[in-house]
Amino acid sequence: MGRTYFVEETVGQYLSDLSVKFKPYVTGLLIGQCSPQRDYIIRAARTPPKEDQKEGNTSPSKLDSIDEEWITAHASQVSRMLPGGLLVVGVFIIVTPELSKDSQNVLRRLIFSIEKSLTKRRLWKPADEDVSDRAALQVCSATKKIVCRTYDVQDPKGSAKPADWKYQNALSASWLSLGCTVNVNIHIPLLATSPNHDLEKNTKNGLNRWSKQIEDSIFLINGQVKDNDTELLEGQKKLRGNIHSSIQIFDVKVLTQLSQGSSHRSTATVQVCSGSINLKGAVKCRAYVHNSKPKVKEAIQALKRDIINTLSDRCEILFEDLIMNEGHCKKNFERVYHVLPQRLFVPFAGSSVMLSDYKFGDEAAGEIQERFVEMLDQFVQAEDIHIAEEVNTVGICPISENMDDTQQKQLTEATLLLKLQQNMGVVIAIAVAVFASVFSFNYFSD
């Protein structure tokens, strides 16, 4: 028996509108939530046109001209804009009858390409209960006929399976929301053997170790520890009234374990370091789960992944901006300052779920609005943009490659200030360049 996708009715109207506007085909992403019990799709977003296609609504006449890399890049950008619990659950294509024959092969390629890209960026490990099926939706622009199939991304050689596609009114109007603030204090050594002082690679490695601590943390939901297999709403009173008054928000506290218990032994290793990066402060995170008897473990898992994603995505965006605008950090020998990306949230009509994004301090509301139109095909009112942080700057002062050995020995400290501001505090990343002869003590578990 195949999977059943419960789909927001507005998605059906959106797909119908696209079938009229774009010929002979248009592709896009399906956004929602997968669970062992039910799968939900609450939004669809067409692939943004490339520069040479923006003049009109006509695509190339053959499907072999579809730019797989462009669509995959779009999926990566959209995934950053999704809070915990939401993900790219599939792809769609709307085609004329003449092109329908080859559509499934295109959808299959896109699904596996997107999953490969998203998996590469993730710092968290999939759970055993994670759903690995992804939806491939084909819509005929002439007859409006819908064919939905799924592919198991864990089985590249597997064949497509049939799936049901069922529309439901106000599907995303009353999802459950979880929010938390997590204190962050991450120390990342920069090994002397690391080529070119690769800040991005070292930062990712450090965040990978930190993500494991988040995975092992204890989560209190409204002040209580709940069994993973119990229902999230167990013991909660059902609220009456209109659909929006029934939205429930859970306050979550995250307790990071100081040690891994007496059964684990820790040893110290000594490594020669050229500097370090410190991420310190607090981050505010958010996740959403459907209200159809969700399990506690589903809700906690969604929040864990948002905690990890919001910090890693932010660092990734920063390094992309530095490389794009000024080249690699090692090429700058004077202290410079950069505005860091801030997290913001945006609602979409008829839904209790808010989408997320990141902005630099010098970006105007119009630029944010343009990005939502381009990435999610959604117009956002300026007053609906809720920025969760204050503007902060980044200061970079690397060691000059022009210094001789004597000058480098006289240099005792250079700093990289990465201030990541959240609702409940500031996240500060400090990269300190010190003598190569100084040792850093790092503790790893056996």
Q: How is 2-51 classified by DSSP, letter by letter? A: --EEEEEHHHHHHHHHHHHHSBSEEEEEEEEEE-SS-EEEEEEEEPPPPG
Residue 82's nearest CA partner among 128, 118, 54, 127 is 118
Q: Enumerate the β-bridge partners of residue 91.
A: 29, 136
Per-residue pLDDT tens for 12-46?
999 999 999 988 999 999 999 998 878 999 999 99
Tokens of 108: 């299959």
**CA pair distance 303, 290, nearest whole angstrom:** 13
Count of alpha carbons within 13 Å of 425, Cβ hemisphere only?
14
| Residue 104: exposure state from Cβ atoms within 10 A (0-12, 13-18, ≥19) | middle
Neighbours of 329 (CB within 10 A): 20
Residues forming CATH 3.40.140.10 domain(s) in the chain: 4-168
Topology, domain 4-168? Cytidine Deaminase; domain 2 (3.40.140)
Angle value at C-alpha 193, between 184 and 432, nearest 5 degrees: 40
**CA pair distance 48, 12, nearest whole angstrom:** 19
Average pLDDT along the chain: 79
- pLDDT value for 258: 65
**CA pair distance 43, 14, nearest whole angstrom:** 9
Q: What is the mean pLDDT of residues 374-386?
A: 93
**CA pair distance 183, 10, nearest whole angstrom:** 38
**CA pair distance 78, 89, nearest whole angstrom:** 12
Neighbours of 160 (CB within 10 A): 17
pLDDT band at 375 (very low <50, low <70, confident <90, very high): very high
The crossing angle, in degrees rounded to 10, of helices 199-215 and 296-326 is: 170
Instruction: Evaluate if residue 432 carries a pLDDT over 70.
Output: no
Residue 116's nearest CA partner among 59, 68, 48, 167 is 68
pLDDT band at 266 (very low <50, low <70, confident <90, very high): low
- pLDDT value for 297: 93
Residue for token digits 């099926």? 133
Q: What is the mean pLDDT of residues 56-81?
A: 85
Q: Side by side, which strands form the sheet with 164-168?
A: 161-162, 146-152, 133-140, 87-95, 25-34, 39-46, 4-8, 164-168
pLDDT band at 350 (very low <50, low <70, confident <90, very high): confident
Neighbours of 242 (CB within 10 A): 8
